[in-house]
Amino acid sequence: MPYPPQPQWPAAPHAPHAPQPQRSAAAHTHYPPMPPYSTNYVNPWTPASGIPDPGSRYDKAARFLFGLGFLTFGSTWIVAIVLSLKAQRLRTDPDTTPPERRKVAVIVAATTAAGLLLLGSGLSTLVDDDIPAGAQDGVAVEIEITSNGAPGLAYDMMIDVGGQKSSGDGVPLPHRKVFHTNSLWGLSVTASAVDDEDSGEAETQTLTCVIKVGGEILARNTSTGDGGQVCTASYSE
């Protein structure tokens, strides 16, 4: 079924458009584009920024411990490296709180004490290695004078063990004596096979002077028996 014809409405009169005000080019405001957002925030601290260095305490402690490592066989270098890394993190991470002065002082004091303890232990080991076996626990020094002749006699005998002295003239040989001392400094023994009134028989006699500690010979000397019938042995540590 066809639709009935629609009525034709008269066209509405169009009102003229109001003129738009003209804007000059100078009236327009231009804004620069927004910079891209960055998730990598960098602390603005630089040596020339004029603000306090947040990692200065860790940095100073690291420098001190690094220098101390040259005296303590490098035992403080690991802590120095860790503190240096912490100082660098404080300069780049704004969320990290600078350490308290007391905390840094405790770290430095503990590391220094451990390093010095290791230094003392190392030096003690070096000293003990230089002392003959058996000399560490109260030094027992044995002085021995022997002769190739029988019977042998020692004249003008002088023994000095760290200030402990012993002497004799016409001492029967072999002669052995033990001295107890706390040091191996200034050990000496000397003896002669010839007396002032000795006969020519003693000219063929030779003497041997020996200094021992713990069974180890520290010094030994034998007279030549050819116009030099004096043996002299000495040791100092």
Q: Which domains does the chain have, with CATH numbers?
A: 56-130 (no CATH), 139-235 (2.60.40)
Q: What are the pLDDT digits (tens) for 40-70?
A: 555 556 666 667 777 888 889 999 999 888 8
Give the global pTM: 0.42
Count of CB atoms within 10 A of residue 220's CB?
14
Task: Residue 191: name the closest of 216, 150, 223 by CA.
Answer: 223
Task: Residue 41: name the closest of 91, 86, 87, 85 by CA.
Answer: 91
Residue 52, amino acid: P
User: Which residue, chain included where needed, has tokens 């509405």?
Assistant: 12
Round to whole Å and give the CA distance between 176 and 179. 10
Q: What are the pLDDT digits (tens) for 68-126?
A: 888 888 888 999 999 988 888 887 776 667 788 888 889 989 998 888 888 877 666 65
Q: Where are the beta strands (DSSP E) in 107-185?
A: 139-147, 152-161, 164-168, 171-173, 175-181
